[in-house]
């Protein structure tokens, strides 16, 4: 029997929705894993991360990407560990979690500080983090995991950085190599306005959704689905300090702080791609 693709939207908890680009007729939507839900709600997570869940929707987003506890998952640029605190315990017993962090020994003081903080975080809780495989990701450093080993690669609000650094194509090619045939790439970033041409360097921090899709397709990926989980219609995308004007950065400090807090975090696209099975 042939199943015909269709578009549809479903609401999650009244606030988050999925727009599926190729859902077979009659398919049953994935429901959040209760174990994953328990980890997301755990008080063991950092309070500042828990406070951001209302804007980031980690349970819904990981469910949308299809994460499972027996998978090999690569997170690109774990930064302070927001997703590490969820993925590491979830994959601890049956799966494998690669954290593709900043390259070591660079001239970037920021990258070195971030690495040191991430290393300290993992060392402080070996019961949760002792099985993490830390690899390197950055310009000229793309050996994030053995080729063809990953079920899922996830990256959150990073594409604009690779565009700014001039290595977006190389990054996406690395994800393609690391994934098994049929493996999934989950990508989130700040959604730029369709009314403006895309800055190839993404200096404002915003990336047009169609531009991001085209970059992934150029690398060989197939678009599976898009989601409005992290959409924010209040984001006009024309801020004086780009996306960093908004929370959580609040680049203007106390200037118009209440205004930008009322807007909230940026409008973000969430995209699900697949490395073709063959």
Enumerate the domain spans of the chain.
Answer: 30-274
Cα separation of 243 and 223, whole Å?
25
| Rounded Cα gap, residues 30 and 34, in angstroms | 12
pLDDT digits (tens, 9 = 90+) for 31-72: 999 999 999 999 999 999 999 999 999 999 999 999 999 999
Backbone φ and ψ for 76, nearest 5 degrees, come out as: -90, 125
Q: Where are the alpha helices (DSSP H) in 41-125?
A: 47-50, 53-56, 58-65, 84-91, 109-124
| CATH number listed for the domain at residues 30-274 | 3.40.50.150
Contact (CB, 8 A) for 19 and 227? yes
pLDDT at position 1 is: 31
- Determine the average pLDDT of the residues in 108-132: 96
Q: Is the dihedral of CA 141, 146, 148, 153 positive or negative?
A: negative
Average model confidence (pLDDT) for the chain? 91
CA count, 13 A, side-chain hemisphere, 154: 25
pLDDT-wise least confident of 19-23, 156-160, 254-258? 19-23
pLDDT value at 131 more than 90 = yes
- pTM (2 d.p.): 0.90
- Max CA pair span of the chain: 60
Task: Report how far residue 117's alpha carbon sits from residue 164's, in angstroms, rounded to the nearest whole number.
Answer: 24
Is residue 278 very low, low, confident or very high in pLDDT (cuts 50, 70, 90)? confident
């Amino acid at each position: 029997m042939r199943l015909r693709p269709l578009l549809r939207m479903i609401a999650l908890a009244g606030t988050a929705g999925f727009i599926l680009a190729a859902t077979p007729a009659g398919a049953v939507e994935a429901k959040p894993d209760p174990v994953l839900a328990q980890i997301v709600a755990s008080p063991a997570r950092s309070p500042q991360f828990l406070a951001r869940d209302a804007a980031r929707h980690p349970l819904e987003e990981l469910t949308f990407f299809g994460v499972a506890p027996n998978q090999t998952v690569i997170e690109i640029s774990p930064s302070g560990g927001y997703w590490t605190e969820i993925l590491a315990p979830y994959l601890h017993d049956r799966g494998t979690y690669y954290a593709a962090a900043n390259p070591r020994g660079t001239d970037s003081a920021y990258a070195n500080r971030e690495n040191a903080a991430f290393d300290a975080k993992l060392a402080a809780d070996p019961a949760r983090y002792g099985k993490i495989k830390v690899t390197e990701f950055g310009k000229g450093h793309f050996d994030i995991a053995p080729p063809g080993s990953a079920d899922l690669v996830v990256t959150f609000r990073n594409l604009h950085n690779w565009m700014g650094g001039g290595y977006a194509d190389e990054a996406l090619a690395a994800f393609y190599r690391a994934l098994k045939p049929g493996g999934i790439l989950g990508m989130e970033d700040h959604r730029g306005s369709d009314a403006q041409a895309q800055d190839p360097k993404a200096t404002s921090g915003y990336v047009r959704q169609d531009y991001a899709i085209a970059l992934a397709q150029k690398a060989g990926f197939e678009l599976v689905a898009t989601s409005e989980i992290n959409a924010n219609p209040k984001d006009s995308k024309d801020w004086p300090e780009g996306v960093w004007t908004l929370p959580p950065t609040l680049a203007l400090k106390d200037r118009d702080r209440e205004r930008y807090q009322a807007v909230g975090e940026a409008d973000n696209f969430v995209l699900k791609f697949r490395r073709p099975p063959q």
